[in-house]
């Protein structure tokens, strides 16, 4: 009950601490990068949106950083609450920006008669965005959980590294598939469509792993022997177990 009562205050404090300008710059970068591929060719559009999605995800890397953690250690709320409050405040911004970006890209693609009926594969690309965000927030949360005050840079680098690694996956595990049209009713799915669907099953698995890591990471500091050792050896702040 106490926890619920402090939610408005936590939201207010979190809103002031969130690095909003990161999000704004991230959105600008996403739009600028996607715009380089704003054509009527669906492969180009998907590429541009993927690059934009990475930019949006990177802009979220610093959301869980809390330089004041050591001095606000004694506040009477569980650690996960302010972190969740930040996420609740922040995530709608890139989500809305993402949807508008897809609208904008689709409008250009549909501007020529030949591609007037072509649409952006919104659900599939949103799963990819969820995977990117899951990776970056999952890493950030795990780093913060280990006792660091700031894990944003590590998370951003981890995301970029993960993107490179995913790009280099062998053909049979490919995740960056080319967009394909779904089969018409009664028709057998084409091989390209099957590759696309398989790739997004993998994306969904990556997203799930990332968001699970986030859920684990926001709970608070790690208490295991390994975490204690890591915190002690790296000189990070240490929190007493409640």
Q: Which residues make up the interface to another protein (CB under 8 A)?
A: 19, 22, 25, 29, 32-33, 36-37, 51, 55, 58-59, 61-62, 150, 152-153, 156-157, 160-161, 164-165, 168
> Which is nearest to 204 in space by CA: 127, 99, 151, 152?
127
Nearest one of 90, 83, 91, 62 to 10, comparing CA atoms: 83
Q: Which lies closer to another protein via its Cβ, residue 27 or residue 84?
A: 27
- The least distance separating another protein from the CB of residue 33, rounded to whole angstroms, comes to 5
Q: Which is nearer to another protein, 11 or 44 (CB)?
A: 44
- Shortest Å distance, C-beta 36 to another protein: 4
**What tokens were used for 237?**
């702040």
CB 3, min distance to another protein, A: 31
At 20, list the tokens: 């909003």
Q: What angle do CA 68, 70, 71 make, to 5 degrees?
A: 70
By beta-carbon proximity to another protein, the closer residue of 32 and 212 is 32
C-beta neighbour count of 156 within 10 angstroms = 19
Structure tokens at 69: 């953690």
Sorted by sequence, the CB contacts under 8 Å of residue 224 that are 6+ apart come out as none
Whether the CB-CB separation of 156 and 58 falls below 8 Å is answered with yes
C-alpha 223: how far from chain center: 26
Smallest separation, CB 195 to another protein (Å)? 16
Determine the Cα–Cα distance for residues 48 and 202; give it in Å rounded to an integer: 20
Which one, 10 or 135, has the nearer CB to another protein?
Answer: 135
Closest approach, Cβ 25 to another protein, in A, equals: 6
Rounded distance between C-alpha atoms, residue 129 and residue 135, angstroms: 10
Instruction: Give the shortest CB-159-to-another protein separation in angstroms.
Output: 10
Q: Nearest distance from residue 208's CB to another protein, in Å?
A: 25
d(CA 82, CA 222): 17
Q: Which is nearer to another protein, 79 or 156 (CB)?
A: 156
Residue 12 or 173 with smaller CB distance to another protein? 173
Name which of 55 and 81 has its Cβ closer to another protein: 55
């Amino acid at each position: 009950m106490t926890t619920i009562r402090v939610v408005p205050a936590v939201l207010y404090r979190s809103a002031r601490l969130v690095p909003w300008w990161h999000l704004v710059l991230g959105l600008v970068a996403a739009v600028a990068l996607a715009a380089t591929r704003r054509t009527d060719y669906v492969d180009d559009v998907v590429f541009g949106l993927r690059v934009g999605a990475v930019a949006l995800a990177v802009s979220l890397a610093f959301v869980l950083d809390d330089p004041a953690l050591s001095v606000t250690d004694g506040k009477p709320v569980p650690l996960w609450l302010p972190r969740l409050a930040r996420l609740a405040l922040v995530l709608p911004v890139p989500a809305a920006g993402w949807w508008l970006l897809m609208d904008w890209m689709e409008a250009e693609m549909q501007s020529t008669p030949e591609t007037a009926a072509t649409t952006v594969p919104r659900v599939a690309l949103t799963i990819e965005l969820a995977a990117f965000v899951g990776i970056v927030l999952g890493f950030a949360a795990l780093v913060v959980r280990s006792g660091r005050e700031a894990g944003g840079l590590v998370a951003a680098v981890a995301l970029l590294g993960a993107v490179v690694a995913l790009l280099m996956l062998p053909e049979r595990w490919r995740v960056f598939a080319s967009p394909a049209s779904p089969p018409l009713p009664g028709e057998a799915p084409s091989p390209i469509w099957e590759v696309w669907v398989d790739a997004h099953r993998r994306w969904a698995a990556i997203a799930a792993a990332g968001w699970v890591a986030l859920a684990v990471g926001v709970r608070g500091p790690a208490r295991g022997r390994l975490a204690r050792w890591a915190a002690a050896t790296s000189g990070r702040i240490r929190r007493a177990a409640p």
